[in-house]
Chains A and B, each alone.
Chain A
Amino acid sequence: MGTEKLKSDLMPGTLDMMVLKILTRGHLHGYAIAQLIQQLSDDLLRVEEGSLYPALQRLELNGWIEGEWGLSANNRRARFYKLTPDGRKHLQAESARYRQVTGAVARIMGFA
């Protein structure tokens, strides 16, 4: 099985939710977020850069994350994101909703 590209045919809001979740681990730059999503999903999910950056912009715009410039491990300037309290609340709400919906889908599909 190849790597699934994370695109719009996933449930809307899923990428945003995953980014928020990843950021609960601490300050991370865009590349690291993409890497982590790939690793944590055992290479099943791969974030396309073209979706990731718009998502980061959107999240920042809504005040759920905050970006600031810092130095990466190899001493390059990189933009690090961190979760805001609002973002944490939003993540909770979104996870609850997601759980409900996936649960429902699973019941319909007879998985559960």
Chain B
Amino acid sequence: MSFGMIWKRFQHRLRYWAQHSERHQSLLEEMDFHIQSKTQDLVGNGIPEKAARAAAHREFGNMTMTAEEARATWIAQWISDALQDLKHAFRGMRRDAGFTTFVILIAGLGIGASSTIFSVVDALLLRPLPFHDATRLVWIANEEWSIQVSQFLDFREQNKSFSDLAGVAGVSAGDTELTGTGEPERLTSSPVTQNFFTLLGVQPMLGRSFTEQECDGKVGNPPAAVLSYGFWQSRFASDPAVVGRSLTLNGKPVTVVGVLPASFDFASLFSPGTPVDLFVPWPLTAETNQFGNTLQAIGRLKPGATTQNAQAEFTLLAKRLDTEHPERNPVVPKLTPLQGHVNGRVSPALMLLACAVGVVMLIVCANLSNLQLARLATRQKEMAMRTAVGAGRFRLLRQMLTESVALSCCGAVFGLLLAVASTHAISHLDAFNIPLLASVKLDGNALGFTLLAALLTGVLFGLLPALQVRSFALAEALKDGSRGSSGHGHAWVRNGLVVAEIAFACTLLVGAGLLIRSFLGVLNVKPGFQPEGVATLRVDPSFRLSGLPQQNSYIDEVLARVRALPGVRAAGIADILPLGGDRSWQVGAKGQVYPRDQHPEAFMRVVSDGYFESAGIHLLAGRGFTEQDRAASEPVAIVNETLARTLWPGRNAVDQIVTQDGGRRVVGVVADVRHMSLETPGGSEMYRPMRQTSDYPAMNLVVRTVTPQEQLAASIRATLRPLDPNLPMGRFDTLQALVDKAVSPRRFLVLLLAGFAGFALLLASVGTYAVISHSVNQRLQEIGIRMALGASATNLQSHILLQTLGLAALGLALGMVASSALTGTLDSMLFGVTPGDPVTFIGIGALLIVVAAVAGYLPARRASRIDPMVALRAN
């Protein structure tokens, strides 16, 4: 059959399909006409009309069935062909069980990885946020930080871009103590403005949101709370009667007014890794205004307004407010679409993973293509036979494609199992602070994607062999006697595939190598503290500390009791742990005047004696805090290296005075601690002794110990119980866990990428081995002749090895060129290495050459051991 005719028939069929229902209708009408005509004829022959009609109908049979039959003719043909192909395919699979297993395994791994990454990308980037009309929501920050209440109110009042602004005053992990009925528990709350849920379009599942009156009270004494779904489930066993109940939070009664729906997962969006238990109102009053920068705002754009326009408007507005109100904190509004704010940090990494998995799939296809081609060579007889009994080119092509698609679909089933397991695992990575990770699941979209991936893989890896099948068949039919010649054209195709595989693998390996080196670099960062063997626990008492004397005796008592425990090396208390919290204040050297917008700022820490020892923060000059730094003694402070350098460049900081609290004498200088992330340097820090102030958000006990965690937790619990029987003892963290959490997004990326790169390397080496091994088999005769003519085994080996290395070198060259062009895009994700890092490039190059050498050496050794007589007789 000529190609033109095939095309014509294809068009006909396409038109048939397209007009399916119309055609069905017209067929019924056509048959109806037939019956009418027949009835008329019968009536003409003198049969009564009723009987005639019945006869006509009877002879026609069931009209719909006939119609179905009529329509089924060509579909039936098509299906029967497909079934036949499938039958062939499955028979072939059974015959080559090894090949089949390998293909299913490889395709399954590839498709499983693709579907998993797709699910993650879908959940994190593609799916809209779970809010009403989420694309109109904009995140408004003060540079990276928060906005003062008065500024927020003026923005809300005066802007024209947004229909409304709402605010959230951060997430305070573990700052709320729930006492009263049941185990005391430390909860995480988030204060929000009255309109917060309304603005997002979130309806409480039970009860209601806050009223205006509830948002007018004093901070620290909220009249009402709204529970998160997760907390409602875990603490109240999903009891609907919880609405209206009064809870004791931080010793004060608070009424539960509502429960949020499960779909509103605040934490996964705004504080990944830190679940939020409840929401309390954040009053917009003079009191909260005094707290300084507290609010991060979300605005809902009016119809027609855009983020860019709003940004321009806010920048102007901020300039005016700054000049009108010099007493307020300056504000530099930075607007980003909410979706971008939530996933902006992870989206480059996700795009990278998506590309990586795409490259892996290409390698998978190249590899399978190669295998299929090799298998085809051994099936020449079968193909020749098919051709001889009249199978056309088209039919053979179809059969080959059916085979490969059937194989890849089997692989996809395996891949789906993998994807189900891995998406489940990923959605339960609680300790990873990556937004929306919990919503990763294998849904309809992902299933559709998997099916598409399976079909595409099948077609992609089957197409090259399918196009070659005819020439294989012909070669056999012509029986030109030399096995080598038929492989000649194909050898080129197969070599090309191997070169492509190596090039792809090389690019992937270089990318993964750079990120692994960055990851190691981050792990090697000296964070300024030593997290190994350090446990932390919130120990804020459940009762109110009436003043500094009571507070200090509580601190003395806690530290004395904990230090007395066996295995405890050092213990101290800190208000904010490293890598957590960003409370910063303006600080200055006494006697120094700073311009308004260049005033030095420092992160403020309040710590007790023993904290530097237990956290492993080095004292560089002067002394640390002692038990004698009390309310009545001289006000003192400790600064870190950076602050010392900023305030007194080139001078000794010890004994200098900082302006803080009416003047504090600097008694010591400590090493910088990284508290934003491991990647960014610490910045300025100032420490104040805990016994000289009551202005701190939390008491974190920090214990350096050699005792195992569980044992330590139990003994600390027991020893502190007499001090405060209601002390909640929920979370027992280690500093190491804080560090792990800080590097978790990077670890996530590196683990997946390294996995993909490893898989790619494996595939490339298997592919190389298969091709070289196949070419040795094809050239048995030639090898026999060479050996008979006196070629030594070494000669032969080096010949084959050189051939392999030639392919590898070509692939490597292409891969390296592609890598050096592409790694620039990774720049933002790298740490401590340049995109052109020579160590990575040379290392990966060497690795690939070694792998190729091994893949070539194995067949080469086999070839050199061939008995020339056997080889010559083989044909």
Contacts and interface: CB of A to CB of B under 8 A. Distances in A.
A78 interface: yes
Nearest to A69: B26
Contact of A62 (B12, B27, B38, B69): B12
Interface string B52-78: 000000011100011101111110000
Given A58-B74, A61-B73, A77 B29 contact: yes
A99 B613 CA distance: 107
A72 B38 CA distance: 13
Contacts of A54: 66, 69-70, 72-73
Interface string B678-697: 00000000000000000000
A79 B8 CA distance: 23
B30 interface: yes
Interface residues of A, number: 22
Contact of B71 (A50, A57, A74, A79): A57
A29 B9 CA distance: 24
Given A49-B66, A78-B33, A31 B74 contact: no
Contacts of A78: 30, 33
Contacts of A56: 70
B34 interface: yes
Interface in A52-105: 53-54, 56-58, 61-63, 69, 72, 74, 76-79
A54 B77 CA distance: 13
Nearest to A53: B70
Contacts of A58: 73-74
B33 A53 contact: no
B70 A72 contact: no
Contact of A57 (B9, B29, B38, B70): B70
A79 B33 contact: yes
A77 B28 CA distance: 12
Interface in A37-56: 48-50, 53-54, 56
Contacts of A72: 33, 37
User: Which of B8, B33, B59, B71 has the most CB atoms of chain A within a 10 A radius of its CB?
Assistant: B33
B37 A31 contact: yes
B24 to A, nearest CB: 11
A53 B37 contact: no
A76 B38 CA distance: 13
B16 interface: yes
Given A31-B38, A63-B9, A50 B61 contact: yes
Interface string B1-34: 0000000110011001000000000110111011
Nearest to B33: A78
Contacts of A63: 8-9, 12
B67 A53 contact: yes
Contacts of B37: 31, 72, 76
Contacts of B8: 63
Contacts of B30: 29-30, 53, 78-79
B36 A61 contact: no
A53 B12 contact: no
A74 B43 CA distance: 15
In the complex, which range does the number of interface residues on chain B fall in?
20 to 34
Contacts of B468: none
A29 B26 CA distance: 13
Given A63-B12, A72-B37, A74-B40, A53 B74 contact: no
A55 B856 CA distance: 60
Contact of A53 (B38, B59, B66): B66
A49 B56 CA distance: 10
A56 B34 CA distance: 13
A31 B30 CA distance: 9
Nearest to A63: B12
A70 to B, nearest CB: 11
Nearest to A76: B33
A57 B73 contact: yes
Contacts of B40: 74
B13 A61 contact: yes
Contacts of A76: 33, 36-37
Contacts of B59: 48-49
Contacts of B9: 62-63
Nearest to B56: A49
Contact of B66 (A50, A62, A74): A50
A27 to B, nearest CB: 14
A6 to B, nearest CB: 13
A54 B8 CA distance: 21
Contacts of B31: 30, 49, 53
Given A31-B37, A61-B73, A53 B27 contact: yes
A6 B12 CA distance: 28
Interface in B669-721: none
B373 to A, nearest CB: 35
Given A49-B61, A74-B40, A57 B66 contact: no
B804 to A, nearest CB: 52
Contacts of A61: 12-13, 16, 73-74
Contacts of A74: 40
A53 B62 CA distance: 13
Contacts of B12: 61-63
Interface in B178-227: none
B29 A31 contact: no
B606 to A, nearest CB: 85
B74 to A, nearest CB: 5
A108 to B, nearest CB: 24
A104 B212 CA distance: 101
A31 B40 CA distance: 12
Contacts of B26: 69, 79
A85 to B, nearest CB: 12
Interface in B53-105: 59-61, 65-67, 69-74
Nearest to B62: A50
A50 B27 CA distance: 12
A48 B16 CA distance: 24
Nearest to A79: B30
A54 B65 CA distance: 11
Contact of B34 (A30, A57, A77): A30
Contacts of A49: 31, 34, 59-61, 66
B34 A50 contact: no
Contacts of B29: 77, 79
Nearest to A29: B33
Contacts of A31: 33-34, 37-38
A71 B31 CA distance: 15
Contacts of B38: 31
A56 B12 CA distance: 14
A86 to B, nearest CB: 8
Contacts of B65: 50
In this complex, the member of B16, B61, B70 whose beta carbon has the largest number of chain A beta carbons within 10 angstroms is B70
Nearest to B66: A50
A96 to B, nearest CB: 18
Contacts of A48: 59
A50 B67 CA distance: 8
A93 to B, nearest CB: 13
B704 to A, nearest CB: 83
Contacts of A50: 60-61, 65-66, 69
B111 to A, nearest CB: 36
27 contacts: A30-B31, A30-B33, A30-B34, A31-B33, A48-B59, A49-B31, A49-B59, A50-B65, A50-B69, A53-B66, A54-B70, A54-B72, A54-B73, A57-B27, A57-B71, A57-B73, A57-B74, A58-B73, A61-B13, A61-B16, A61-B74, A62-B12, A63-B9, A63-B12, A69-B26, A76-B36, A77-B33
Interface of A: 29-31, 34, 48-50, 53-54, 56-58, 61-63, 69, 72, 74, 76-79
What are the 7 closest A-B residue pairs judged by CB atoms, nearest first?
A: A54-B70, A53-B70, A31-B37, A57-B70, A79-B30, A31-B34, A58-B73
Given A49-B60, A62-B12, A77-B29, 8 more contacts: A34-B34, A49-B59, A49-B66, A53-B30, A58-B74, A61-B73, A63-B8, A69-B26
